[in-house]
Structure 1
Amino acid sequence: MADLHRIRPAEAADVAFLAEVTIAATRAQGRLPADFDEATWQTGFEEWSRESIDDPATDLYVVEVGNRSVGRLRVSRTADAVELNGIQLHPDVQNRGIGTAIITDLKDEAARRGVPLRLHVERDNPDARRLYDRLGFVKIGEDGAEDVLRWSKDVEQNRIWNAEVAERYDTPGTGAFADDVLGPTVERLAELAGTGHALEFAIGTGRVAVPLSERGVPVSGIELSTAMLEQLRTKADEDTIPVVAGDMATARVPGEFTLVYLVYNTIANLLTQEEQVACFRNAARHLSPGGRFVIELWVPELRRLPPGTPATVGVADPGYILLDTYDVLRQHVVSHHFHFGEGTEAQLFRTPHRYIWPAELDLMAQLAGFTLESRHADWTGSPFTADSPSHVSVYRLPTA
């Protein structure tokens, strides 16, 4: 977990510190030239910092931990992008997750606005490049001695849910594809859809949509991952199950529906509260009066999290281990899926989530005009209790 930090707008009194921390960070990386004239450089950098503070197109910040100034952050915001112009942290607070947390916040901002996050990184700065690679940035060009990198939500989702993942996602007859799992799910959704049409947010490879369609319910979908959609198309064509490629929090599907549904914890793939609320509002936009929005979601397992221990083991089978690491400040959890083969062969697949308490989910529903109609522990209608690991919640719009 990252050290607690905050950022505040830089002031004229900060310009000397901003120069000092930039030099300290660059020196620690061994990237200062042998003929570096520190005094001349600092004078020019302080003047440039003053200009940045006065520039309405740029936001210059000081990063603080406790009462101590430890870093510099410069960001530009336009209608088309969020630009990370520079981030430097003092060497004695590096490798504590602060930089990752700041960049993650900027990614969240870019995702909320529906724009990319861009930055430049020097080619002689491999440490920074490794960080940006790990955070999902891709190279889109070059600018002199720098590479131009870009992160966007669609690129991130296609990186996580890629062709390799899509190919091994379906496990017919077992796990989430077992008859005793799919049967009750499809039966309940068909009952809720009635004689109307159903819309699945994050339809994926069609685990639920295909059997629901075969059950006689007209199904449409929204999906952000190109690879998952291609896998769905091996089972059902566009005429059978039409799908709009896009973000379930914003994409619009033609038509009107009696049911919108989100299964298998997928609303948690939206990593900010704002996006999750937007998802509810998008569901409401698609529904006819009295229509229902159904969410299947796990209950956060924080009671299993001992103080000072940031992870829980969800599954520990001979060929598979699931480890969840928590950031309780941001309500984020990363699921680490370890698959083991012969000998020392192993594969790691990570999925990030934002967990939601049932009460918070109900408030999101209220903001979008829904009321809670029912909540059960599973698709068969088992009672939901304090010990239930997950729930199926049905929200409904007013009939008038």
Structure 2
Amino acid sequence: MHRLRPATDADAALLAEVAFAATSGQGRMPAGVDETAWRTEFEGWSRESVADPTTDLAVVEVDGRGAGRLRVSRTADSVELNGIQLHPDIQNRGVGTAIITTLKSEAARRDVPLRLHVERDNPNARRLYDRLGFVRTGGDDKEDVMEWSKAAEQNRLWNAEVAQRYDTPGVGMFAEDVLGPTVERLAGLAGGGRALEFAIGTGRVAVPLSEYGVPVSGIEFSDAMLEQLRTKADADTIPVVTGDMATARVPGEFSLVYLVFNTIANLLTQEEQVACFRNAARHLSPGGRFVIELWVPELRRLPPGTPATVGTADPGYILLDTYDVLKQHVVSHHFHFSEGTEAQLFRTPHRYIWPAELDLMAQLAGFTLESRHADWTTTEFTADSPSHVSVYRLPS
């Protein structure tokens, strides 16, 4: 566990110690450096940063002691990570990843990029930023400029290759015995009004629902998934706004907003998930419904000390889910393979939600729970149900 607190002038020596230890530990301190002069200069720079109103300088505390420094600046157009250093004693404990993940959430909430500079002679930091989804956008012979944005992240996850193999007509989630009840139930819940699908994807549900006679619009972040949808329906038939389902607005009012196949879990923070409910409420007319299809977390299958479960083990396909129960995060690892020795891996991150937590999110957005069933055919929901279809309604 870690916490951040604003740095003061009294922390200058501590911040210099962290910076010196971290830089030396990486082998990046120049040979023959005058340590006293180096620390004095760094302490002076830290005091200037404390007084600078355009930046936030923080001390990273781990186990109750100062062990790191974080410097961030914020503008209307971006969040800038100006510097993060951790004492070698606390490195490789996930602290840096947790801090940067929080900054990514802030940038996503503000709909701006998270930017940083990384020196060319700091390969460990570069590997971390690569792993966290940053891409190089510029630089020179000494450092690279890197950037992360939610839009770029979604397009990286749901790219053209994924979109092209996403549709499996007639089988799996595209099977008629899956789609038929889904479309029929949604059409009934729409009550003759317009429907809006959050994360419409390639139109697995939207296309047959539109053909059923329900006017459907959508929101989608992935350009590649939207391009795949456009091979089935044009923009006049199913208009789509490109953007984040937690914030994007579609013109007009709807009697139904829906999210299928666990998609709300693609929002990786509780804050974003609550915002998704509020965005649904903004689009609905009085008495309108918000429908969510979501799996129930399988933690009863997770023995103490075991970090993963095998969800599927079919010929040619294995699904492995790894859990971080502290953050309610799960990463689904999809392995596709044939008779050879090689396999393709596709990973998707999620934040799982308990049904009771979902109901509280709904209350915060002004909804009440109208019904909950185990599937689209209104099977009774029980403690053993692996998923649920929950219908929330606004007051009339």
The correspondence of residues 1-400 of structure 1 with structure 2, limited to 5 A, is: 4-142=1-139, 145-399=142-396
**SS at 2:376 equivalent:** coil
Cα displacement (A) at 1:272 = 1.4
Distance 2:25 2:161 in 1: 39
Name the count of aligned residue pairs: 396
Distance 1:334 1:369 in 2: 31
Which amino acid in the other structure matches residue 78 of structure 1?
Answer: T
Cα displacement (A) at 1:240 = 1.0
Measured against aligned partners, the alpha-carbon deviations of 1:207-261 in whole angstroms (never above 9, x if no partner) come to: 0001111111111100000000000001111111111111111111112211110
Runs of 4+ with deviation above 3 angstroms:
none
**SS at 1:353 equivalent:** strand
Which amino acid in the other structure matches residue 179 of structure 1?
Answer: E
Distance 1:324 1:69 in 2: 35
Cα displacement (A) at 1:69 = 2.4
Distance 2:343 2:247 in 1: 37
Cα displacement (A) at 1:143 = 5.2
- Bigger mean CA offset, 276-285 vs 222-231: 276-285
The alignment's C-alpha RMSD in Å is 1.3
Measured against aligned partners, the alpha-carbon deviations of 1:372-399 in whole angstroms (never above 9, x if no partner) come to: 1100000000000111111000011112
Distance 1:21 1:324 in 2: 36
Distance 1:339 1:95 in 2: 31
**SS at 2:252 equivalent:** coil
Cα displacement (A) at 1:37 = 2.3
Cα displacement (A) at 1:92 = 2.8
Distance 1:96 1:317 in 2: 35
- Bigger mean CA offset, 372-381 vs 282-291: 282-291
Query: Where in structure 1 are there 5+ consecutive unaligned residues?
Result: none
Which amino acid in the other structure matches residue 98 of structure 2?
Answer: A
Cα displacement (A) at 1:102 = 1.0
**SS at 2:246 equivalent:** coil
**SS at 2:312 equivalent:** strand
Which amino acid in the other structure matches residue 144 of structure 2?
Answer: D
* Percent identical: 84
Distance 1:108 1:55 in 2: 24
Which amino acid in the other structure matches residue 240 of structure 1?
Answer: T
Distance 2:253 2:340 in 1: 53
Cα displacement (A) at 1:79 = 2.1
Query: Where in structure 2 are there 5+ consecutive unaligned residues?
Result: none
- Bigger mean CA offset, 321-330 vs 244-253: 321-330
Normalising by structure 2, we get a TM-score of: 0.97
**SS at 1:240 equivalent:** coil
Cα displacement (A) at 1:194 = 2.1
Would you say the 8 A contact 2:120–2:141 is kept in 1?
A: no
Normalising by structure 1, we get a TM-score of: 0.96
Distance 2:57 2:333 in 1: 35
Cα displacement (A) at 1:124 = 1.6
Cα displacement (A) at 1:47 = 0.6
Which amino acid in the other structure matches residue 386 of structure 1?
Answer: A
Cα displacement (A) at 1:187 = 0.8
Distance 1:122 1:196 in 2: 56
Cα displacement (A) at 1:185 = 0.5
Cα displacement (A) at 1:317 = 2.2
Cα displacement (A) at 1:144 = 6.0
Measured against aligned partners, the alpha-carbon deviations of 1:141-175 in whole angstroms (never above 9, x if no partner) come to: 11562111111110110110011110111111111
Distance 1:316 1:284 in 2: 39
